[in-house]
Structure 1
Amino acid sequence: MRPSPEDARTVTCVGAGVIGGGWAAYFLAHGYDVVAWDPAPDAEARLRHLVDAAWPALTELGLAEDASRDRLRYEPELAAAVAGADFVQESAPEDLDLKVRLLADLDEAIPEDVVIASSTSGYPMSDMQVSCERPGRTVVGHPFNPPYLIPLVEVVGGKATTADTVAWASEFYRLAGKSVITMEAEVPGFIANRLQEALWREALHMVAAGEATVEQIDQSIVDGPGLRWPVMGPMLTFHLAGGQGGMAHMLDHFGPSLLAPWTRLVAAELTPALRDAVVEGCDREADGRSVDDLVAERDAGVIAVLRALGRV
């Protein structure tokens, strides 16, 4: 018997890398019992390091009354990890064959009513559930990095996923404190990644053509539209660009400019020169700060934005 979303209190995180570990930290901070499994020999040490690193930010955001890192258990065997799970969050590497095999293994090992969600950043669930005997309970629950800070989760089922599974997963994430988009249909890359990808490709084109540096591109977003996007997305932003006439005036007035060659949405060729230019630009922008230093700065910044918007 599938537990209600309210009664699901034990989460198994399958895969304990950056995303899976971030999920583990998030669920622990919200008072869940978390069991983790990852086949890497040093997985437990890396997982506990990640949880410890995330805990100050989660503490500042506000922990659940019964939140504790002591509620994390690592299991070296997959079967033991999923035994007793009320919900499973799979966060294996983005390799389709691997995910097909892993979801099939999970489907075989877990009681049939338990929902299995994948953190995939792009694969449709229809492509991943093909080897499952009971694919109806498999669903995408796509987070954003770091999962312990970024609220959004995109939920979408595959062709064989049941409607009640999608509804259950969406409600579970909402009760866990996430901002949930329940998609009506599968779209490669989902929604937010499609939008991110368009900006990313244009940025690579500009670097490749010598039109802008890495630093200028980042500054243009951080000190420009990025300051508006936490308040409202691009659609409402452009709605306001139309003044009192709103989006209708904006489209009537600026519509012809959509034909102007402002963007190049064909992927830029990632040549060695382009790759090196992007890497070197990021190194310059980091200016000696380590990855841990940058993570701490990012976390503090996201918290400040969330606090300023009253979302904490």
Structure 2
Amino acid sequence: MQEIGILGAGLIGASWASFFAAQGLNVRIYDVNETVKQKALDVARANLQGLVDLKLLTPEEMQHAVSNMRLVDSLQELLAEIDFVQESVIEDYAIKADVYREFEQHAPDTAILASSSSGLLMTRIQSVLKHPARALIAHPFNPPHLIPLVELVPGEQTAASTVETVKNYFLKLGKHPVILNKEVPGHIANRLAAAVWRESLALLDEGVASVEDIDAALCQGPGLRWAMMGQHLIYELGGGAGGYQKFIDTIGASFEEYWNDMQTWTSIPESAKQKAVAGTQAYLKQKSRSEWAAWRDEKLARIQQVLREE
């Protein structure tokens, strides 16, 4: 699959464009908003320059990647003789329905349609298609051009062969795909993040600690382990010779007290929102947002370089 279509050229779409172009693929970019579409090339070029600065691309590879990207003026032009479409339009079922109907009218029968949706259900999205077997969720973690995770979520009508093809394709491109056996809103990673975020807000709202210290407790402790392994393997090792079973039998009971004491909000209280925004603004004064983003990207690149070492 050499011809890639980026449908929706905002932050995520532009990052996807950077990723695919850096792999040597031909990338077409389209957005119904002309301003967003024009800006996407600048964002994608900046992303690629960032990869050069991080020594993940050579200047020559960057120039080749830039030459592989082009803007197109219509959805029909985007879809003509396309192999793979990465859709990143607004998280709205009605808007996606309109886009998907047009995809089916203009794309080749062999083209695969992957959605970047962070939480919508593919079964509902693909219901407007006459040939839904080639559509699935391929949700990245931001920024897609740097973070390897991509969550593959088939709908009820997605063909198993489509999932297998996309999984192998992303593996070839250096991504780390995970496959959901069952659709759930938010997939895997965002549900885990939502659980941690809610408790982070609750700790702040209840005056337990500051924004900065709550974040530090995550990144200076669990976050270091999370870069290498997930919670199941962490607790398998935490159980020593007895493994996961021993951990659950001995330490697991204490977690019941934590869970009983935790908030179970289904909406964010106004007090928590105000404290989170105010606390984070004070925290951000150490650097500008662009400086924080550059700092994040440099650390992400270095962590991944270490993790790739045997």
Q: Deviations over 1:198-241 (max 9, x none)?
A: 10111111122222221111101111111111121111111111
Shift of 1:300: 0.3
Per-residue deviation, 1:245: 1.7
Using the alignment, how far apart are the partners of 1:311 and 1:31 within structure 2? 24
Cross-structure match for 2:145: 148
Q: For residue 84 of structure 1, report the CA deviation from its aligned partner.
A: 2.0
Instruction: For 1:271 and 1:228, locate their aligned partners in 2 and report how far apart those are by CA, in whole Å.
Output: 31
Output the CA distance in 1 between the equivalents of 2:101 and 2:140. 22
- The corresponding residue for 1:295 is 293
Q: Which amino acid in 1 is paired with 2:123?
A: S
Cα RMSD between the aligned structures? 1.9
Shift of 1:282: 1.5
Partner of 2:156: 159
State how far apart, in whole Å, the 1-side matches of 2:287 and 2:174 are.
32
Q: CA deviation at 1:258?
A: 2.9
Q: Which residue among 5, 9, 16 is the counterpart of 2:9?
A: 16
1:311 Cα deviation after fit: 5.8
State whether residues 25 and 68 of structure 2, in contact with CA within 8 Å, keep that contact through their aligned partners in structure 1: yes
Secondary structure at the aligned position of 2:27 is classed as strand
**Residue in 2 that maps onto 1:61:** 56
AA in 2 matched with 1:304: R
Measured in 2, the distance between the counterparts of 1:118 and 1:247 equals 36
The answer on 1:239 being equivalent to 2:232 is no
- Cα deviation, 1:32-57, whole Å, max 9, x if unaligned, reads 11000011121233212211221133
CA contact (8 A) 1:104 1:129 kept: no
Do structure 1's residue 181 and structure 2's residue 174 form an aligned pair? no
Unpaired runs of at least 5, structure 2: none
Name the structure 2 match of 1:50. Answer: 43
Whether contact under 8 Å (1:155, 1:182) holds in the other structure is: yes
State the match for 1:26 in structure 2.
19
Give the equivalent residue in structure 2 for 1:5: none
Is the CA contact 1:88–1:116 (under 8 Å) kept in the aligned structure 2? yes
Residue type at the aligned position of 1:46: K
User: What are the residue-to-residue correspondences of 1:26-105 with 2, within 5 Å?
Assistant: 26-59=19-52, 60-62=55-57, 67-105=64-102
SS of the residue 2:34 aligns to: coil
CA contact (8 A) 1:241 1:250 kept: yes
**Who is 2:305 aligned against?**
307
Task: Compute the TM-score of the two structures, normalised by the length of structure 1.
Answer: 0.92
Q: C-alpha displacement at 1:179, in angstroms?
A: 0.5
**Match for 1:122: what amino acid?**
G
Matches within 5 A, 1:213-228: 213-228=210-225
When residues 265 and 132 of structure 1 are mapped into structure 2, their CA distance, relative to the original with a 3 A threshold, is farther
Whether the aligned pair in 1 keeps the contact of 2:204 and 2:211 (CA below 8 Å) is yes
Contact residue 202 and residue 263 of structure 2 kept, 8 A: no
Bigger mean CA deviation after superposition, 16-25 or 245-254: 245-254
Identity rate, percent? 34
Q: Distance in 1 between matches of 2:65 and 2:258?
A: 53
- Give SS of 1:42's match: helix
Verify the 8 A CA contact 2:22 2:61 in the aligned structure 1: no
Report the count of equivalent residues: 305
Provide the TM-score with structure 2 as the length reference.
0.93
Q: Which runs of 5+ in 1 are unaligned?
A: 1-7
| Cα offsets for 1:134-180 (capped at 9, x unmatched) | 11111110100000000011112111111111111111111111101
After superposing on structure 2, the runs of 4+ consecutive aligned residues of structure 1 that deviate more than 3 Å are: 62-67
Q: Offset at 1:255?
A: 2.4
Residues 180 and 269 of structure 1: is their aligned pair in 2 closer, same or farther, counting only changes over 3 Å? closer
Shift of 1:265: 5.5
CA contact (8 A) 1:29 1:58 kept: no
Q: Which of the pair is proportionally richer in helix? A: 2
Tell me how far 1:18 sits from its aligned partner: 0.9
